[in-house]
Amino acid sequence: MGSLLVAVKWNINGVDYTFEDYESINIRRSSDLEQNSCTIMLKNKPGFEPYLEDGIIQFSPDQPINVYAKIDKDGSGLDTGANSTDLVFNGRVASIDFIEDSSKSQIKLDCSDASFVALNKLWVGDESGTAPELVVKVIDFVNNNVSSSWDEVSAATTSNGGLVQDTNSSGGSFSSVKFSKVFKPVFEVIQDLSATEYTGDLVPYRFHLSTANVLSWFYPDDSAEHVINVGDITAQTITYVHPVSSDEVIEYVDSQIHRVLSYKLSNSIYDVVNYIIFKAGEDMEGEQVTNYAYNQGQGSPVVKDTLRTWEDIARDLKEEDRRAGNITKEYSDTYTYPSSYPLTPAWKNTSGTVADDNDYNEEFILEVTRRARARAEMEFKFHGVPKLKGTIELEGKSIYDANDGIILTATRTGIDKQFVRIKDVQHNIKKEGWFSTLTVEEEVPLIS
């Protein structure tokens, strides 16, 4: 079976401590980077070093915490070096809870990784460039004025040695686009730049941060990282057809062993989104722009009304033109019309000018609606058809990460070489064992 080896390294004023007296460790790594977290529950023994010193708690927010784990089956031991593959979480203490009653005394550490620092920054900008160039610019903004190198996120295009893809799915160049946002969280900015509206590709791009704080941004056409055959604990060799590109992958080999303990998967029309009613913000007259988008011919045969409030779309357009000097902000979402005509608004998607206030507002509503429908289209790409989704619980390993592709086979339930992608990884580590739970979802099919 192997021995469970765990080390939690805790740094105080540059001094590393390693402790193993934990009750439980729960780690989450998600494709939604805002959800990355680690919770460590410790036994608080009176006088136990190094938690307490002279009766004073030594934990404080912002102290570095690294968690290493391995089920050692070959006697190689736990690697806690700088480039360790046994590193499961790299972060800092965010908050400390003290829990005591007649039966227990505990310390609870809630920790976050660098994505917490990055994603809590609000981005304001009006930029032009290709989608990957803009992604790197946004991360450069994140890195401005960080308190230490730990807070920095590494982002570079593939041609510069990084993991931000700078050629499109066909190997060509991205088109230059205009992009404007006002006080929007960095995570949402990168999410918007991943949309088909800005990449020109048929499905949205994916992104995540590694434990080393390196940003990957890519078209979801890469090879599977794992081949999982439920009940089989040998290395797997497989051929499969990727659902996005339809290219056959010849003899993919996964040398890792995956021990599946349980799984719960479903394929249902109830999660399908095929009709969106949207509110996209106020036009120049203060009237809410409302409309709808319908994913005709895809998904459930029943139209399922879904409401989305995207008021930032109209706000972004107004700010684009304000920064261009064409309009002036009065208060809230109220802006003045241009002082003279004809002119071409900065947000205009087509050539030509507007002739007067009425023409300006009509074109404004058309552009807001166009952008809202583009956003709806991205949601349809992810949720427009029924997909296999659910959870897989396995023996714990550090090899799983958000956005990894899996070729999944479960013969007893009729699942054959299904390509699913990891949305969320949760590691549950206790003295009695380590379990990794993967939340997975079938890959977005190609919809032309």
Mean pLDDT of the region 297-317: 77
d(CA 193, CA 21): 44
For the ranges 5-14, 241-250, 292-301, the maximum mean pLDDT occurs at 5-14
For the ranges 30-44, 97-111, 290-304, 361-375, the maximum mean pLDDT occurs at 361-375
Q: Where does residue 196 fall: left (phi above 0), alpha (psi -120 to 50 degrees), or beta otherwise?
A: alpha
Where is average pLDDT lowest: 6-10, 424-428, 440-444? Answer: 440-444
Per-residue pLDDT tens digits for 43-69: 766 555 556 666 677 777 778 888 999
Per-residue pLDDT tens digits for 80-119: 887 788 999 988 888 888 887 777 778 888 998 867 766 6
Where are the strands (E) in 245-387, listed by range? Answer: 248-254, 260-267, 275-282, 288-294, 305-309, 329-331, 334-335
Mean pLDDT of the region 151-169: 90
Paired strand residues for 209: 215
**End-to-end CA gap in the chain:** 48
Nearest to 328 by CA among 318, 341, 314: 318
d(CA 199, CA 186): 18
Q: What per-residue string of b and e applies to 377-392 under the rule 16 or more CB within 10 Å gives b? A: bbbbbebbbbbbbeeb
Mean pLDDT of the region 141-154: 73
**With 0-12 CB in 10 A as exposed, 13-18 as middle and 19+ as buried, what is 148?**
exposed
The band of 448, judged by pLDDT with boundaries at 50, 70 and 90, is very low
Q: What is the pLDDT of residue 446?
A: 57
Instruction: Please tell me the total number of residues recorded for the chain in this structure.
Output: 448
d(CA 147, CA 143): 9
Can you tell me whether residue 423 is helix, strand or coil? strand
Tokens 């041609």 belong to residue: 159
Q: Which domains can be identified in the chain, with CATH numbers?
A: 3-112 (2.40.10.10), 116-218 (3.55.50), 226-268+386-442 (2.40.30), 271-383 (no CATH)
d(CA 242, CA 446): 10
Q: What is the pLDDT of residue 125?
A: 82
Omega prior to 445 cis, within 30 of 0: no
d(CA 133, CA 157): 8
Where is average pLDDT lowest: 83-92, 239-248, 415-424? Answer: 239-248
For the ranges 189-198, 299-308, 392-401, the maximum mean pLDDT occurs at 392-401
Mean pLDDT of the region 141-163: 81
**Given a cut of 60, is residue 298 above it in pLDDT?**
no
What would the DSSP string read from start to end of 345-362?
-TT-SSSS-B-SHHHHHH
Q: Which residue has the higher pLDDT, 116 or 379?
A: 379
DSSP 8-class letter at 204: -
Radius of gyration of the chain (CA): 25
Farthest-apart Cα atoms in the chain, separation: 78
DSSP 8-class letter at 22: E
CA 5 vs CA 11, 29, 167, 393, 425: distances in Å = 20, 20, 42, 19, 20
